[in-house]
Amino acid sequence: MGPVAFAVVGNESDAPKTLLITLTGKDRPGVTSTVFSTLAAFGVEVLDIEQIVLRRRLVLGLLVTAPRDWKSLRAAVERVAEDLDMQVEVDRGTGDNRQRPDGRSHVTVLGMPLKPFAVAAIAGRIADTGANIDRIERMARYPVTAIDLHVSGVDPDRLRVVLAEEAAAQAVDVAVQPAGLLRRGMRLIVMDVDSTLVQGEVIEMLAEHAGCFDEVARVTEAAMRGELDFEQSLRERVALLEGLDASALDRVYDDILLAPGARTLVRTLKRLGYRFAIVSGGFTHVTDKIAEDLGIDFAAANELEVVDGRLTGRIVGDVVDRAGKAAALRRFAAEAGISQAATIAIGDGANDLDMLSAAGLGIAFNAKPVVQRAADTSVNVPYLDAIIYLLGISREEVEAADAEMGIVTPAPPLL
């Protein structure tokens, strides 16, 4: 994709005459230096520049003011291109790239794999809204493919609705966020625990030790779909654990598997100043240890009552339910000195809905249908660190930062 020159809206007589110079060909050291050295002789002003390299194929776009003798500049650039064995186009016009259409968004598309027809469908729906794709960047190619589209000319909320429908039809994930400084600022990420940060449900793992797994699993599934009141269902399930030796909590913690990419997500974003919180309808005996292990800043969960080394089947204090999770998000944001708009909530079940709604960005992670419909965006790939790409951070940047810390990242397959 070559660079795009945008026309100036307003009085064209006030706009500078410009040249759009586009070079394509094999990349090699010194191309950019050679081209700019040629331009320097004509006293032009650089208004914009874009350069991308795909499999050693270079596309270099330059927008410069047009000198009086612009044809001589064109001839000079053509000679340089010939010497470099590259193709060049020089287009004369007016205006620069400063006045882009209103309504700017980042549209992140995730696929495993990402097929051309899916990209075509997403791009087509963007075009249907009258918006324009200004730039496309690859954020990752393995284990998921992620691309970030810079879109202008449509309200982000309208675009989100349009693309959510197409994403479902194409079996890809699409996240739409307004462009702006907030995406790059320090933020608070609040995560659900069971089936989000960790694989599976802790209460079901406890139920296995208590011999009541099937009954607990049935109630858990109905609660996560929003068919049962969460507090009532939790108290019913906990009651079935009465008499279980409290040592089972330690055994369950030892058996817990984090979601793939969980450590990468936390490690990477904490290096960038992000704060983390976990808010769970599960139990403090487990969540507190997870928080300590990962370096989580804040945690809230339910406390199981233990008497004489055994679970009583009761919960101490108030239940952290759907409303409690949202309240915890607001409380942690205030303690961290972070605005509520700068929070990101990640969850999968109906009891996460208020938390996802309260956050600046609510992400449904491999969630139930009711949650996917309500959240700002859905991520259905199995890797929790794919959320990094929604924040404008590429896999290459993550791997480079890990390498500095001596962390070895598995190499992607050769194509």
pLDDT tens profile 167-225: 989 999 999 998 876 676 668 999 999 999 999 999 999 999 999 999 999 888 888 78
> Under a CB-based contact definition with an 8 Å cutoff, are residues 221 and 175 in contact?
no
Of 227, 135, 103, 123, whose CA–CA distance to 166 is shortest? 123
The domain total for the chain is: 3
For the domain that residue 213 is a member of, what is the CATH number?
A: 3.40.50.1000
Residue 402 covered by a domain: no
The range of the structural domain enclosing residue 74 comes to 12-94
Q: How confident is the model at residue 353 (pLDDT cuts 50, 70, 90)?
A: very high
The values of phi and psi at residue 329, to 5°, are -60, -50
Residue 242 tokens, joined = 């009465």
**Mean local confidence (pLDDT), 306-314:** 96
Could you list the beta-strand ranges (E) of 308-369: 310-316, 343-347, 361-365
- Dist. CA 369–CA 350, nearest whole Å: 9
On whether both 112 and 90 belong to a single domain, the answer is no
> Under a CB-based contact definition with an 8 Å cutoff, are residues 97 and 52 in contact?
no
On whether both 243 and 369 belong to a single domain, the answer is yes
**Per-residue pLDDT for 357 more than 90?**
yes
Could you list the beta-strand ranges (E) of 193-330: 275-283, 298-307, 310-316
- The residue out of 136, 159, 179 marking a domain boundary is 179
**Per annotation, catalytic residue among 192, 352, 376, 385:** 192
- Of 8-17, 79-88, 254-263, 265-274, which range is least confident? 8-17
On whether both 154 and 214 belong to a single domain, the answer is no
pLDDT score recorded for residue 127: 94
Q: Is 148 a catalytic residue?
A: no
**Per-residue pLDDT for 414 more than 90?**
no
Neighbouring CB atoms inside 10 A of 247's CB total 11
- The residue out of 157, 179, 201 marking a domain boundary is 179
Q: Is 192 a catalytic residue?
A: yes
Separation in Å, CA 301 to CA 246, 282, 304:
17, 6, 10
**Per annotation, catalytic residue among 194, 321, 376, 385:** 194
Q: How confident is the model at residue 9 (pLDDT cuts 50, 70, 90)?
A: very low
205, containing H or E segment: helix 202-210
The values of phi and psi at residue 43, to 5°, are 65, 30
On whether both 150 and 292 belong to a single domain, the answer is no
On whether both 234 and 121 belong to a single domain, the answer is no
Q: How confident is the model at residue 114 (pLDDT cuts 50, 70, 90)?
A: very high
Burial category of 228 from C-beta neighbours within 10 Å (exposed 0-12, middle 13-18, buried 19 and up): middle
- Dist. CA 296–CA 270, nearest whole Å: 9
On whether both 268 and 331 belong to a single domain, the answer is yes
On whether both 269 and 356 belong to a single domain, the answer is yes
Separation in Å, CA 213 to CA 127, 203, 392:
50, 9, 41
**Per-residue pLDDT for 290 more than 60?**
yes
Cα-based torsion angle of the residue sequence 311, 316, 320, 323 in order, rounded to the nearest 10 degrees: 140
Comparison of pLDDT for 290 and 403, the residue scoring more? 290
